[in-house]
Copies of this chain bind each other. A is one copy, B any other.
Amino acid sequence: MNMLEQWLSKTLNRLNLVDSMEQLKGFTRLSYSEEEWKAMDAFTEIAHEMGLEVRMDEAGNRIARWNPTPESESLPAIAIGSHLDTVVNGGGYDGVAGVLCGLGAIKLVKETKKRLIDPIEVICFASEESARFGISTIGSKAMTGLLDVEGVADIKDATGITVKEAIESKGLIMEQIVNAKRNDSEIKSFIELHIEQGELLQDANCDIGYVRGIACPTRLTITIKGRAGHTGTTPMGKRKDALVAIAPLITFISLTAEEISKTSPFPLVATASTIQLYPNVMNVIPDVVHLGVDIRSIDDHLKSEMTQKIKEKCTFLEKEFGVVAKIECLVNESSVFLHPNQLKKLQVIGEGMGLKGLELDSGAGHDVMNMAKRWPASLLFIPSKDGISHHPEEYSSIQDLRKGTEILAKFVLQEASGSK
């Protein structure tokens, strides 16, 4: 391990608040939780040690900034960013990799002793994952002015705590989140580095992925209302069992996504990922079920087609089982295409470094999809072992993190204007 790899390894542990990345239960740092905040505090401490200024904005995002000269203070920043929150029992690389490599890139840039003028930022976005509230990228939505503050304030987590309560428990004020929106002139360009969370890079034996676009999710909640009754005394023929009625839909969603993917130029993935059953006790026939469905494709038309097919299936199930179905659309985000010129620059730098690269699309949403709506933005992937993510076995090697850090540093040096 060279010096940079040692630093990355140590800093990876620090950002994850552990002494070793081997954690059986993985990492749980939900949106606006104490755990997310502790990781953010670790970020702040590391950035301070590196001589960066750190501020927290009104949405809880932490912004670490290096102003090479006094005049840098008023100039637009070259920004690198990602997040530190995780799903329940998630991995320690999703999000963390981007924050870590961003810090590493500034470290490398500073070590060159080149006399730069443009400020460099590492942004640690708050609450990227939707695991707690079903809303993703809260921090980057706030920074870009895309957050519907009123619309999300009362959404509750599984324990009944609202977004507003969670945010205010961190000393922030819900109504002031709008002030986290930054001016166009504050940022020159934005890059996010992220683990792939897929197997394409590994399968192609590549070092780095250049991402063309992001397949943003459509999310539905499907509710089936049947009729409760005693499991022992209600004859099979007289039931309106909500779980029996929804079971074929789970199968249908999986099979239809496979079918659409086979017959289209772009893949589509669809997952019935959450279920709430009522009353969920042994001797009562299920009355109500809520099924959460996550649909993604770079092709927005395919997502609409999938949603339409689900609606038709629900109408069929209503008739077959004598139940009532309701479909609610929680999220319907259009796919985001990244900045082609910036992508090209990164590819040239990567080739110059001897990195084997692959152009690909992202099936997961990232903070960059919001930033891309305001500033020239790009997304780099580093390989994920076996594509495993949102899981304790999520893993990217220190060597891949180093390569990611180096390409970020070279990009920053190329983009930043220097003093003569």
A229 at the interface (CB under 8 A from B): yes
On chain B, the residues within 8 Å of A277 by CB distance are 274-275
On chain B, the residues within 8 Å of A244 by CB distance are 250-251, 254, 272
**A283 x B364 contact (CB < 8 A):** yes
**B390 x A283 contact (CB < 8 A):** yes
Contact digits for A248-275, partner B, Cβ 8 Å, 1 yes 0 no: 1011001001100100000101111111
- Is chain A's binding surface mostly helix, strand, loop or mixed? loop
Contact digits for A364-377, partner B, Cβ 8 Å, 1 yes 0 no: 11000000000000
On chain B, the residues within 8 Å of A198 by CB distance are 230, 233-235
A239 to B294, CA, bound (A): 15
Q: A residues near B, CB below 8 A?
A: 87-89, 129-131, 134, 136, 196-199, 215, 217, 219, 228-239, 241, 243-244, 247-248, 250-251, 254, 257-258, 261, 267, 269-275, 277, 279-287, 292, 294, 296, 362-365, 387-391
Beyond the given A233-B364, A247-B247, A273-B285, please list 8 additional residue pairs across the A-B interface where CB-CB is below 8 A: A131-B282, A229-B391, A231-B269, A236-B254, A236-B269, A247-B248, A248-B251, A275-B280
Q: Given A282-B130, A282-B131, A282-B219, is A363 in contact with B232 using a C-beta cutoff of 8 Å?
A: yes
Residue of B nearest to A250 (CB): B247
**A387 x B234 contact (CB < 8 A):** yes
Residue of B nearest to A381 (CB): B233
Residue of B nearest to A259 (CB): B236
Residue in B197, B237, B250, B285 whose CB lies within 8 Å of A258: B237
Residue in B232, B247, B273 whose CB lies within 8 Å of A231: B273
- 29 CB contacts below 8 A, A to B, read A87-B283, A130-B281, A131-B282, A131-B283, A131-B284, A197-B232, A199-B238, A217-B231, A229-B390, A229-B391, A230-B390, A231-B269, A231-B273, A232-B362, A232-B365, A236-B254, A236-B269, A237-B258, A241-B254, A243-B272, A248-B251, A271-B285, A273-B281, A273-B285, A274-B277, A275-B277, A282-B292, A284-B391, A287-B391
